Amino acid sequence: MGHHGMEGIDMLDPLTSSSMTTLAPMGESAPPHHQLHGYGAMNHVMNHHHHGGGLSHAPPAHLGHPSAGLHPDTDTDPRELEAFAERFKQRRIKLGVTQADVGKALANLKLPGVGALSQSTICRFESLTLSHNNMIALKPILQAWLEEAEAQAKNKRRDPDAPSVLPAGEKKRKRTSIAAPEKRSLEAYFAVQPRPSGEKIAAIAEKLDLKKNVVRVWFCNQRQKQKRMKFAAQH
């Protein structure tokens, strides 16, 4: 899917011809807040909400719109989240916008503490593969964008947009790939002990001939996976 920040041009012609000026990623003023590609750089659009325990507290009521942040029950209900996620995706596609587009466009919403998000995150929101709390926090933001986008789609209009500048490439991050056999072993270990001690991790790492850090991160990610809506206690 998305490669760079350029895929915007191929979404300018859909029937809806929705070229939402401020919501589209290639808007006049959409300088990707981050150009530091040397992956040791500031990545996260660290919003104000990021205290421990994640967003375990009440959802941000100020971001909520009329139908959003009124009663926690409505926003916290897994069924509602699921329904919203589906509607969101459907309407997003109707608008002819990609997941990556939505992510970039969020920055144009100018909501307090809300910057851009990646295609990954939008995708995960739609597929409910985020934690419950994460879903709750993102819902009002995506809902706000959706409403704005649809509103602007109504006043269909064209406008000359400036081609985005592709940032110069820097170091690329390499992704380790754990082979299937090793992965099966890890899963077996995980089934017995989801939280192995440092020593245990080291042992496993040596046994599978993997770097200790790779194994440690694998377990962390595995634990996170269990907490995602799709895996965690089904509603």
Partner DNA sequence: ATGCATGAGTA
Partner DNA sequence: ACTCATGCATA
Interacting residues toward DNA by CB under 7 A = 1, 34, 37, 39-47, 50-56, 103, 116-121, 123-124, 126-127, 129-131, 133-134, 137-138, 171-178, 183, 195, 198, 201, 213-214, 216-221, 223-225, 227
Of the pair 154, 172, the CB lying nearest DNA is at 172
Of the pair 7, 19, the CB lying nearest DNA is at 7
Of the pair 17, 194, the CB lying nearest DNA is at 194
Of the pair 14, 54, the CB lying nearest DNA is at 54
User: Minimum Å distance from CB 112 to DNA?
Assistant: 13
User: Minimum Å distance from CB 93 to DNA?
Assistant: 10
Share of the chain residues as helix, strand and coil, in percent rounded to the nearest 5: 45, 0, 55
User: Minimum Å distance from CB 158 to DNA?
Assistant: 28
Of the pair 76, 133, the CB lying nearest DNA is at 133
User: Minimum Å distance from CB 198 to DNA?
Assistant: 4
Of the pair 19, 85, the CB lying nearest DNA is at 85
156, HSE (Cβ side, Cα atoms, 13 Å): 9
CB 140 within 8 A of CB 69: yes
User: Minimum Å distance from CB 220 to DNA?
Assistant: 4
User: Minimum Å distance from CB 77 to DNA?
Assistant: 17
If 0-12 CB within 10 Å is exposed, 13-18 middle and 19+ buried, where does residue 38 land?
exposed
Tell me how far apart the alpha carbons of residues 58 and 205 are, in angstroms, rounded to a whole number. Answer: 40
Q: How many of the other CB atoms lie within 10 Å of CB of 67? A: 11
123: left (phi over 0), alpha (psi -120 to 50) or beta: alpha
Radius of gyration of the chain (CA): 20
Buried b (16+ CB within 10 A) or exposed e, 134-162: bbbbbbbbbbbbbebbbebbeeeeeeebe
